[in-house]
Amino acid sequence: VRHPAEPWRIKSVEPIRPTSADERRGALAAAGYNVGLLPAELVYIDLYTDSGTGAMSDRQWAAVMLGDESYSGSRSFYRLEAAVREYYGYEHVIPAHQGRAAENILSRCLIRPGHHIPGNMYFTTTREHQELNGGTFHDIIVDEAHDPEADLPFKGNVDLTKLERLIDKVGAGQIPYVSLAATVNMAGGQPISLANLAEVRELTRRHGIPVILDAARTVENAWFIKQREPGWAERTVSEILRETCALTDGATMSAKKDSFANIGGWLAVRDSHLAEQARNLVVVYEGLHTYGGMAGRDLAAVAQGIEESVREDSIRTRVQQVAYLAERIAEAGVPIVRPVGGHAVFLDAAAFLPGVPREQFPAQTLTCALYLDAGIRATERGAVSAGRDPVTGENRYPRLELVRLTIPRRAYTQSHMDFVADSVIRLYAQREDLRSGLEFTYEPETLRFFQSRFQPL
């Protein structure tokens, strides 16, 4: 894979500093072997997330200066509303300060105790809100999505038999909506195809079940459709994005991803009754329905970011930078999830560290090793992220035990990617030395991966 030349140049820089091995050892122990608890200043290359960590453009910063801070009816809100309507195609737009805030509003509107919510693999915050409202999540993604080596173009697809079986079993009336992500974060940033989405649409239409999209990375999904799905190569990313949304009834959005914003999100729906309900709740949890927890300048930055996100050169550079890092790592034999997704390279930690048992959290252990080696911060996406089963209280052990090297948008250069690849390859060569993992010393009840602490075994 060639790293394409970026369609931008750097106008403003932020210094970052490499650390010494001693410094890192001390910092990691103080952070309870959870890289998420490290002070960011002690991280050299921060691949913890692609959420809110991208570089805003000069146009976005200009939009920030032009943001309208009126409490109600801000000009910046109308700009955002117009951008969502134009690029995503939903009529009613309700701002929320980030993705999970939109999920909270949506889940409270639609989910009642005893409901069942099918989805193409879980996402941490999304499932949390479904469960908090008394719902049960059901994974209806294709089996191959759970196999890191299954190299298929659309591993985010829904298995329609699984969906149909669930509808037969619990009844359509107990399914408030189907929750679809594009791309699927926890599967490795895998896309869903338009053909599959159309089939889901058709099945759910027959049963009167709405489809709600998690649109955080749907521009990346559109790029993969253009590359891989027959019949779409000649269409623009913008058209494919519209087409994707047209097959759904609404969306929750974390604007911190595709839209290059440091904060922001929205909920958008077609149904005016649901929109009214959501507006009433957003006032309780976020702020007035024309700012939803964001400053006017944030609304403006998101609106500008949406317009930039669908440009072909922009999305191409984004996805190919991820592919470049993946190829360098894979060339050295390091096990990664195939195919490479849109926002991150996922290391198969179970295969990387076969000597560390699942109960000792190989993915968490690998994030620690990566930090110690060169100050790189990655994310655990395995059993620690999966949490405990709310009924049995047992640890959930998903088949995928992954470490995510998440690439912030427009923030790091090719030499940074080379630096990361060198560190991963070096660690892989030393993997025999890593035979023991970690145990919890503190485990929060919800979304435990963010704040848990560990000790080495």
Positions marked catalytic: 71, 123-124, 214, 257, 381, 449
Give the whole-angstrom CA distance, residue 115 versus residue 374.
Answer: 46
Residues 6+ apart with CB under 8 A from 57: 8, 260, 304, 305, 308, 410
Quote the CA–CA distance of 366 and 351 in Å, as a whole number: 11
Residues 25-64 that bind ligand F0G (CB under 6 A): 49, 51
What tokens does 65 get?
């200066």
- CB under 8 Å to 331, separation ≥6 — which residues? none
Pair 411, 51: CB distance under 8 Å: no
Nearer to ligand F0G, 49 or 248 (CB): 49
Kindly state the smallest distance separating residue 219's Cβ from ligand F0G, in Å.
13
Task: Round to whole Å and give the CA distance between 103 and 94.
Answer: 12
**377 contacts ligand F0G (rule: CB under 6 A):** no
By beta-carbon proximity to ligand F0G, the closer residue of 220 and 348 is 220
Q: Does 352 bind ligand F0G (CB under 6 A)?
A: no
Query: Residue 370 interacts with ligand F0G (CB under 6 A)?
Result: no
Q: Specify the residue, 64 or 402, whose C-beta has the smaller distance to ligand F0G.
A: 402
Total residues binding ligand F0G (CB under 6 A): 15
Task: Work out whether strand 265-269 and strand 92-96 pair parallel, antiparallel, or are unpaired.
Answer: antiparallel
In the block, tokens 């294709």 appear at: 142
Residue corresponding to tokens 């699927």: 184
Looking only at residues 168 through 187 of this chain, which bind ligand F0G when binding is defined by CB under 6 A?
Answer: 181, 185
Site map 71..100 versus ligand F0G, x via CB under 6 A: ---------------------------xxx
- Distance from C-alpha of 386 to C-alpha of 380, rounded to nearest angstrom: 10
Residue 188 or residue 360: which is nearer to ligand F0G going by CB? 188
DSSP code per residue over 186-217: GGTSB---HHHHHHHHHHHHHHT--EEEE-TT
CB of 184: closest distance to ligand F0G in angstroms?
A: 8
What gap in Å lies between CA 168 and CA 166, rounded to an integer? 5
When binding is defined by CB under 6 A, the residue of 188, 265, 293, 375 that contacts ligand F0G is 265
Residues 445, 335: Cα–Cα separation, whole Å = 32
CB of 158 vs ligand F0G, minimal distance in Å: 15
Q: Which residue is nearest to ligand F0G, using beta carbons?
A: 99
Which residues ranging from 125 to 144 are in contact with ligand F0G (CB under 6 A)?
Answer: 125-126
Q: Rounded to whole angstroms, how far apart are CA atoms 63 and 415?
A: 30
Residue 134 CB, nearest distance to ligand F0G (Å)?
20
Positions in 242-261 near ligand F0G (CB under 6 A): 254, 256
The smaller minimum CB distance to ligand F0G, of residues 356 and 363, is found at: 363
**Nearer to ligand F0G among residue 51 and residue 76 (C-beta):** 51
DSSP 275-324: HHHHHHHHHHHTS-TTTTT--HHHHHHHHHHHHHHT-HHHHHHHHHHHHH
Sketch the per residue contact string, 202 through 241, with ligand F0G: x for CB under 6 A, - otherwise. ------------x-x-------------------------
Q: Which residues bind ligand F0G (CB under 6 A)?
A: 49, 51, 98-100, 123, 125-126, 181, 185, 214, 216, 254, 256, 265
